[in-house]
Copies of this chain bind each other. A is one copy, B any other.
Amino acid sequence: MLEQIAQGPLISKEEYAAQSPGVRVDLINAQYDLKSADFSVVLVIAGDDRVGIVEVVQLLHEWMDARHIETNIFEVPSDEELERPRFWRYWRGLPPKGKIGVFVAGWPLNAIGEHATGQIDDAGFSARLSHIRRFENALGTNGALVVKFWIHTPREAMKERLKRAKKDPKSNWQIEDVDWQLYEVFEKAGPHVETLLRETHTAIAPWQVIDGRDDRTRDLVLARALLDALVQRMKAPPPPGQVAAWPVEQIPDALGQVDLGAQIEDDEYDNRLEADQARLARLTRKARDCGQSTVLVFEGWDAAGKGGAIRRLTRAMAVRDYRVVPFAAPTEEERARHYLWRFWRQLPRAGHVLILDRSWYGRVLVERVEGFAKPEEWQRAYDEIVDFEVQLLEHGMLVRKFWLHIDPDEQFARFKAREHTLYKKYKITEEDYRNRDKWDAYVAAVNEMVARTHTPDAPWHLVPFNDKRYGRIQVLDTVCEALKSAVGKP
């Protein structure tokens, strides 16, 4: 495949001299226009020609304004990176709107490298390609321009170049020992490179193979292609991505199945609370010692009792072991990136518990109901969220999700009671009462969310909270059971 694609006519010295100044001016002007545009550019420079990659990246830094290029190079992962899912380091480096993030080698070459060195087998490689596809799709459909170049130099030409360098190291000082090693790697990995290119070549994140045999041709072809992509995207945003959703009729009324009459007696509550908290204390300590991380998602109706339920959990944990993060409106830095970015950046280190008071599910709840997200945006969010959680699970994190359920009458009664509370943060406004008009829309959103994102290892628990104390014990039990299944009896 590669050989056919990459070998076009070479560009002569004269053509290069005549054309490159114009391309250069256009490129830097496109970059200037990008500053006020509503999208970011994710630029992947990979290939089987290490020196070519380095030179092209260098060229872009010279031809464009290096101050607005954020270059990410992934060498040995730091311990902070190793304690998070594999793609955490890529998410960490995503550029904000208006900027170009260059990912040198990046996820494609890391996948090839790990496969070549036996860190992952064929099945692992295939799973990786699927993640790459979903990752790039999530970036692209949510507004980033994803541009990917594969610098390809045919093996014979590469061998020739390496041999020349051996004879005359002065004129080929860029060639290092590692290039001989890479030559061997790619010699063997050829078929996997083709698989990678084929499987991760999508409409939203297409590969462009660049002929690496000749510097001038390589540089000018790549610069022009980048320019075209920028200009094209500036003129017209991509069409909204296709969403393959199940038919709506099939969504079961999960909320309707919740037994809101469930109650617990005072004595039983006190006993079980004490026993569960002691158990949870031992389990989280064991989880810390094992490096088992946990992610607990809390969603629910206003006044359902999220804060109280969370406090019953944290009371049993050492402060160093958990973090409660409330998610309300995103900050400016967060708004300038993919909507999942602000959750990625909060992922816990090994052995820690992250408790989310509202979460990425806001996309398919409040953003859907209030119209903050377009239909195609929240519709494709289900898949994006499931893929995100799969990455947490694959990394070994424990994931549990809670919807705290009450009925409208109970909510109304709690709002009324709060009018007399001493705690300012619980004060009720007109707005709170008005939100109740959207109850049915929220019910539909919750049911669809559960239907589309409940998975065996990242399950939803719909917990009745008309009796708060009953609900809290359910939450505690669920978290304890989950931890026990992960780390064993403490």
- Whether a CB of chain B sits under 8 angstroms from the CB of A324 is yes
> Given A54-B319, A62-B311, A319-B104, A357–B67 Cβ distance below 8 Å?
yes
Knowing A78-B79, A318-B54, A319-B57, the reply to whether A423 touches B326 (Cβ < 8 A) is no
With known contacts A33-B424, A75-B320, A61–B104 Cβ distance under 8 A: no
By the criterion CB–CB under 8 Å, are A320 and B78 in contact?
Answer: no
| Cα distance, A31 to B426, chains bound together (Å) | 13
Contact of A332 among B31, B318, B325, B333 (CB under 8 A): B333
Give the number of times this chain occurs in the complex, counting copies.
Answer: 2
Across-interface contacts of A58 in B (CB, < 8 A): 315, 319
Contact partner of A79 (CB less than 8 A), chosen from B65, B79, B323, B424, is B79
SS class, residues of chain A in contact with chain B: helix
Q: Is the CB of A326 within 8 A of B71?
A: no
A407 contacts B by Cβ under 8 Å? no
A310 at the interface (CB under 8 A from B): yes
Which interface residue of A67, A78, A318, A325 has the most chain B CB atoms within 10 A?
A67
Q: Per-residue 0/1 for A60-79: is the Cβ within 8 Å of any B Cβ (1 yes, 0 no)? A: 01100111100101010011
A126 within 8 A of B: no
- Residues on B with C-beta less than 8 A from A75 are 320
Cα-based distance from A33 to B427 in the complex (angstroms): 13
Is the C-beta of A422 less than 8 angstroms from some C-beta in chain B? yes
Asked if A247 is at the interface of the complex by the 8 Å CB criterion, the answer is no
Among candidates B31, B314, B320, B325, residue contacting A104 with C-beta atoms closer than 8 Å: B320
Q: Are A65 and B104 in contact (CB under 8 A)?
A: no
Q: A65-B425, A79-B79 are in contact. Are A73 and B29 (CB under 8 A)?
A: no
Residues of B within 8 A of A73 (CB): 319-320
Q: Given known contacts A307-B65, A314-B66, A320-B104, is B32 in contact with A424 (CB within 8 Å)?
A: yes
A424 & B29 in contact (Cβ 8 Å cutoff): yes
Taken together as a complex, chains A and B put the C-alpha atoms of A319 and B54 apart, in Å, by: 7
A80 at the interface (CB under 8 A from B): yes
Q: Chain B contacts of A319 at CB under 8 A?
A: 54, 57-58, 61, 71, 73, 104
Within 8 A of B (CB), among A370-424: 422-424
State how many angstroms separate the Cβ of A404 from the closest Cβ of chain B: 15
A424 to B331, CA, bound (A): 30
| Cα–Cα, bound, A120→B351 (Å) | 31
A5 within 8 A of B: no
Q: Which of B54, B65, B80, B325 touches A80 (beta carbons < 8 Å)? A: B80
Cβ contact within 8 Å between B311 and A66: yes
Shortest C-beta distance, A417 to chain B (Å), equals 16
Q: Which residues of B contact A311 (CB under 8 A)?
A: 62, 66
Interface set, chain A 55-106, CB cutoff 8 A to B? 57-58, 61-62, 65-68, 71, 73, 75, 78-80, 104
Q: Which 9 A-B pairs have the closest CB atoms?
A: A332-B332, A67-B326, A73-B320, A32-B424, A32-B425, A66-B324, A57-B319, A25-B422, A29-B424
Other A-B pairs, 18, CB within 8 Å; known A67-B324, A71-B323? A28-B424, A28-B425, A32-B424, A54-B318, A58-B319, A61-B314, A62-B314, A62-B315, A66-B324, A67-B310, A71-B319, A73-B320, A78-B79, A78-B80, A79-B80, A104-B319, A331-B331, A331-B332
Could you list which residues of chain A lie within 8 angstroms of chain B, going by C-beta atoms? Answer: 25, 28-29, 31-33, 54, 57-58, 61-62, 65-68, 71, 73, 75, 78-80, 104, 307, 310-311, 314-315, 318-320, 323-326, 331-333, 357, 422-425
